[in-house]
Amino acid sequence: MRITDYLNKECIKIPLSKTTKKGIIEELLELILSVHPEIDKEKAFHCLIEREKIETTAIGDYVAIPHARIKNLAKIYLAFGLSENGINCHSIDGECVKLFFLILFPEEEINAQLKFLARISRLLKDKNLRTKLFKCKDHEKVIDAFKQYEEHHFQ
């Protein structure tokens, strides 16, 4: 499973314009919906907010991975956004979040969700990759950064 298989340019936004966690979740969800209008926005947004209530998805190191499991979703959808100034998301290390990855999972595919979350959270533990992402000015650089990293570390 490669993150680059799920990243596409329409679902990458640099910089993010919203300045709250909820706002950014909505902003990233809109990116996915612009490509996949068949997704029920209300339902997806509700599931994402409900997931945040269980425990924060701001996992530290300036990274947040808001995500949700949604019934009858065709596949996994991913959106990425960079907040240049960072947003206070009550992350586990107390740092502001700059890198946001919003993911929608089909509810029935628990194994795929586990693998995807494990892969992306492990990738983002790497300081070099995070530093590269902080400096990205457009979607191509983001996709390139992930591509290079995954090719190097996950043959």
Burial of residue 62 (number of CB atoms within 10 Å: 0-12, 13-18, 19+): buried
CB contact set of 140 (below 8 Å; sequence gap of 6+): 9
| H or E element that contains 92 | none
Which of positions 74-93 make contact with another protein (CB under 8 A)?
A: 92
Residue 67 among the catalytic residues:
yes
Residue listed under structure tokens 């019934």:
71
- Binding track, positions 16-55, relative to another protein; x by CB under 8 A: -----------------------------------x--xx
Which among 36, 67, 90, 153 is annotated as catalytic?
A: 67
Which residues sit at the interface with another protein, rule CB under 8 A? 51, 54-57, 59, 65, 67-69, 92, 110, 113-114, 117, 121
Q: Which residues are catalytic?
A: 67
